[in-house]
Amino acid sequence: MHSHHLFILSCALLLVASVQAQSADQTIHFHATMDNVKPTFGPADPVAHLKPGNFLEANSLDCFGNALQKPGDPFSSVKIDNPLTGPFFLDGAQPSDTLVVHILDLEVDGKQGVGTFGPGFGAANSTHYTPMLEKEPLPERAWYYPIDAEKKLITFEALDSNFKTQFPLKPFLGCIGAAPANGEVRSSLVPAEFGGNMDAPEVSPGNTLYLPVNVPGALFYFGDGHAAMGDGEVAGSAVEVPMKAKFRFDLIKGKSTAWPRLENDRELMAAGIYRPVDDAVRIAVTELIRWVHRDYGLSELDAYELFSKVGHLHLTELVDPNYVVIASIEKKYLPLPLSASQ
């Protein structure tokens, strides 16, 4: 174990200090419309350039491109799934760097959300990737959710019986990512190493997301705003909403991350993204243990044991082409970061 190596890493992941200092405190504004959104994570002409330290204020359309507005609106009016705002080119970002995205603010851009069930998509029905012989598929359905921004409450109204209930507004972004590695371009329905459609409530204000930079400029995208979501997004949708977002960007030079990571004052969070869930868990847990080992100095077995006593596993979604698990541990249970003790 080389403490110099560890120092650089922890310093980078925690402070990103030197880079920020050199960056202007500028805010870039961008307005997404159906004319400039993208259907994929991958190379595309940037809609704007950013510098490390910059702020970005931009909106996203909902996962249906805002096509479903009231009961009866046909699913066929949806032209693109998960239309993405972007890409944004981060000046100076090169492959093997880490893109740092501070999620500063998210605000639902409207007064209602929508949830849908469509046959072939869901965690507990016959789907494209887990097809079942059946007499007849379940029917297509849409639920519309009034959102009270002031009271931070969302209203569910049953379609098949006379029942309403309210639950809290907890906005986050379902899609957030940078261009994939190996020259790949992936649909905005896909979560993977590059982030993407992770549907992780952890992508919310106060958290910082680390993503691998795979192409010059990183090419950052976001979209698929959610006003609230249950674990697993099991019926195939959250409370789908247009969103107004505010981010700040940084760059960690010369260090990459194999999978998306998140962090805040209280927690380290590592994403594992694949199928079956068993493998998503293995990815998330090994990534978190390596993180704790590398930056906090516990041996891998000590970190494994400690996670087995106080760690958290969050099954964020089981409906996209890959499944997502977030493994997290509270920093209060960890040693000081190695960098801090230098």
- Per CB under 8 A, does 34 bind a second copy? no
Nearer to a second copy, 104 or 334 (CB): 334
Query: What single string gives the DSSP state of each residue in 204-227?
Result: STT-EEEEE--STT--EEEEEEES
Burial of 164 (0-12, 13-18, 19+ CB in 10 A): exposed
Closest separation in Å from C-beta 116 to a second copy:
9
- Distance, in Å, from the CA atom of 126 to the CA atom of 56, rounded to the nearest integer, reads 40
Residues forming a β-bridge with 117: 141
User: Which residue from 225, 244, 239, 110 is spatially nearest to 168, judged by alpha carbons?
Assistant: 239
Would you call 255 helix, strand, or coil by DSSP? coil
Residue 250 beta carbon to a second copy: minimum distance, rounded to whole angstroms:
27
Q: Which residues pair with 158 in a beta bridge?
A: none
State which of positions 227-256 bind a second copy (CB under 8 A).
228-239
Q: How far is the CB of 248 from a second copy (least distance, A)?
A: 30
Residues 265-304 that bind a second copy (CB under 8 A): 274-279, 281-283, 285-286, 289, 297-302, 304
Residue 307 binds to a second copy (criterion: CB under 8 A): yes
Among 124, 148, 151, 254, binds a second copy (CB under 8 A): 124
For residue 132, how far is the Cα from the chain centroid?
Answer: 30
Q: Could you tell me the smallest distance in angstroms from the CB atom of residue 327 to a second copy?
A: 8
| Count of CA atoms in the C-beta half-sphere (13 A) of 295 | 18
Residue placing its CB nearer to a second copy in the complex, 193 or 250: 193
CA atoms within 13 Å, Cβ hemisphere of 237: 24
Which pairs with CB-CB distance under 8 Å and at least 24 residues apart come from 301-308? Answer: 306/333
Residue 222's beta-bridge partner residues? 85, 176
**Minimum CB–partner distance for residue 166 and a second copy (Å):** 8
| Contact between 123 and a second copy per CB under 8 A | yes
Least Å distance, CB 160 to a second copy, is: 4
Closest among 1, 9, 2 to 295, alpha carbons compared: 9
User: Considering the rule CB under 8 A, would residue 115 count as an interface residue with a second copy?
Assistant: yes
Closest contact distance (angstroms) between CB of 181 and a second copy is 8
131 part of the interface to a second copy, by CB under 8 A: yes
Query: Applying CB under 8 A, which of residues 141, 152, 244, 246 lies at the interface with a second copy?
Result: 141
Q: Does 323 bind a second copy (CB under 8 A)?
A: yes
Rule CB under 8 A: is residue 221 a binding residue for a second copy? no
Q: Which is nearer to a second copy, 9 or 318 (CB)?
A: 318
User: Distance between CA 57 and CA 65 in Å, rounded?
Assistant: 19
> According to CB under 8 A, which residues from 175 to 204 bind a second copy?
182-187, 189
Residue 334 sits at φ, ψ, to 5 deg, of -110, 160
**How many residues bind to a second copy according to rule CB under 8 A?**
88
Q: Minimal distance in Å, beta carbon 9 to a second copy? A: 17
Which H or E run includes 38? none
Name the minimum Å distance from CB 294 to a second copy. Answer: 13
- 75 lines the binding site for a second copy (CB under 8 A): no
| CA separation for the pair 274, 294 (Å, rounded) | 24
Residue with smaller CB distance to a second copy, 24 or 336: 336
Q: Please give the helix or strand (H or E) that residue 308 lies within, else none.
A: helix 300-310
CA torsion angle 251 27 196 16 (round to 10): 20
Of residues 156-175, which lie at the interface with a second copy (CB under 8 A)? 156, 158-161, 163, 165, 167
The residue (of 105 and 134) whose beta carbon lies closer to a second copy is 134
